[in-house]
Amino acid sequence: MSGQLFISTDDTRTLFSQAMSGMYRKEVPQYGALLELVKAVNEQVLSDSALHHQLSSTGQLNRLDVERHGAIRVGTSLELATLRRLFAVMGMFPVGYYDLTVASVPVHSTAFRPIDEAALAKNPFRVFTSLLRLELIDDLALREKARSTLAKRKIFTERCLELIALFEQQGGLDSMQAEEFVAEALFTFKWHHDATVDGHTYDLLRKAHPLIADVVCFKGPHINHLTPRTLDIDEAQASMPKYGITAKETIEGPPRRKCPILLRQTSFMALREPIFFTDQNDSSEGTHTARFGEIEQRGVALTSAGRALYDELTAAVREQMQGVAKDAYAQTYQATLNNVFESFPDNFDALRKQGLAFFYARPNEEVLAARPVPAGLGWDELVEQGYVRFDPIIYEDFLPVSAAGIFQSNLGAENSEKDHKVAASRTMLEEALGAAVHDEIALYAALEQHARAQTEHALGLV
Average pLDDT over residues 235-260: 89
- Report the alpha-carbon distance of residue 212 to residue 209 in Å, rounded: 5
Residue 404 has pLDDT above 50, yes or no: no
What is the mean predicted confidence (pLDDT) over 306-318? 93
Cα 90–chain centre separation: 16
Is the Cα torsion angle 436, 442, 448, 451 positive or negative in sign? negative
For the chain, the domain total comes to 2
Query: What pLDDT sits at residue 407?
Result: 46
- Residue 258 shares a structural domain with residue 325: no
Task: Flag whether pLDDT at 146 surpasses 50.
Answer: yes
Q: Return the C-alpha torsion angle 420, 423, 426, 432, nearest 10.
A: -60
Residue 152 belongs to some domain of the structure: yes
Residue 236 lies in a domain: yes
53 and 148 both lie in a single domain = yes
> What local confidence, expressed as pLDDT, does residue 190 receive?
92
Give the pLDDT mean for 78-107. 93
When pLDDT is averaged across residues 139-151 and rounded to a whole number, the result is 93
The more confidently predicted of residues 112 and 401 is 112
The better pLDDT of the pair 51, 197 is held by 197
Contact 246, 409 (CB under 8 A): no
State residue 1's pLDDT score: 46
What pLDDT, on a 0 to 100 scale, did the predictor assign at position 293?
78
pLDDT digits (tens, 9 = 90+) for 367-403: 999 999 998 899 999 999 999 999 999 999 998 764 4
Report the share of the chain in percent with pLDDT over 70: 92
Q: Count CA atoms within 13 Å of residue 281 on its CB side.
A: 1
- Cβ neighbours of 37 (radius 10 Å): 22
Mean of pLDDT over the chain: 88
Residues 328, 251, single domain; the answer is: no
Q: Which candidate, 159, 167, 155, places its Cα nearest to that of 191?
A: 155
pLDDT at residue 282 in the model: 56
pLDDT of residue 215: 92
Residue 273 banded pLDDT, cuts 50, 70, 90: confident
The answer to whether residue 254 sits within a structural domain is yes
Q: What is the pLDDT of residue 20?
A: 93
User: Residue 10 — very low, low, confident or very high, per pLDDT cuts 50/70/90?
Assistant: very high
Report the C-alpha gap between 87 and 164 in whole angstroms.
Answer: 9
pTM: 0.89
**Among 81-95, 225-239, 270-284, which is the least confidently predicted range?**
270-284
Q: Considering only 133-147, 402-416, 437-451, which range has the smallest mean pLDDT?
A: 402-416
Q: Give the Cα separation of 431 and 441 in Å (integer).
A: 22
The pLDDT value given to residue 421: 46
Pair (75, 134) in one structural domain = yes
Query: Residue 86's pLDDT is what?
Result: 98
Same domain? For 399 and 258 the reply is yes
Single out the residue of 158, 146, 150, 267 nearest to residue 220, CA to CA: 150
Least confident of 271-275, 283-287, 298-302, 358-362: 283-287
Classify residue 361: in a domain, yes or no.
no
Residues 139 and 166 in one domain: yes
Taken in order 115, 119, 122, 123, the sign of the CA dihedral is negative
Average pLDDT estimate for 140-155: 94
Does one domain contain both 249 and 331?
no
Asked whether residue 269 is domain-assigned, the answer is yes
Greatest distance between any 2 Cα atoms in the chain: 83
The reply to whether 26 and 93 lie within a common domain is yes
Averaged pLDDT for residues 240-267:
89
The pLDDT confidence band at residue 423, using thresholds 50, 70 and 90, is low
Q: CB-side exposure of 316: number of CA atoms within 13 Å?
A: 16
Mean pLDDT of the 142-166 span: 96
The confidence score (pLDDT) of residue 47 equals 86
Same domain, 78 and 160: yes
pLDDT in tens, 331-372: 899 999 999 999 999 999 999 999 999 999 999 999 999 999
The model's confidence at residue 60, banded by pLDDT at 50, 70 and 90, is: confident
Is there a domain that residue 451 lies in?
A: no
CATH number of the domain within which 168 lies: 3.10.180.80
Residues 177 and 97 both lie in one domain: yes
Residue 295: domain span? 9-299+395-438
In a domain, 369, yes or no: no
What confidence score (pLDDT) does residue 435 get? 96
* 443, part of any domain: no
Q: What is the mean pLDDT of residues 87-108?
A: 91
Residues 178-234 pLDDT 10s: 999 999 999 999 998 889 999 899 999 999 888 899 999 999 899 888 889 999 999
63 with 114, same domain: the answer is yes
- Compute and round to an integer the Cα radius of gyration of the chain: 23
Same domain, 198 and 324: no
pLDDT of residue 54: 75
pLDDT of residue 102: 77
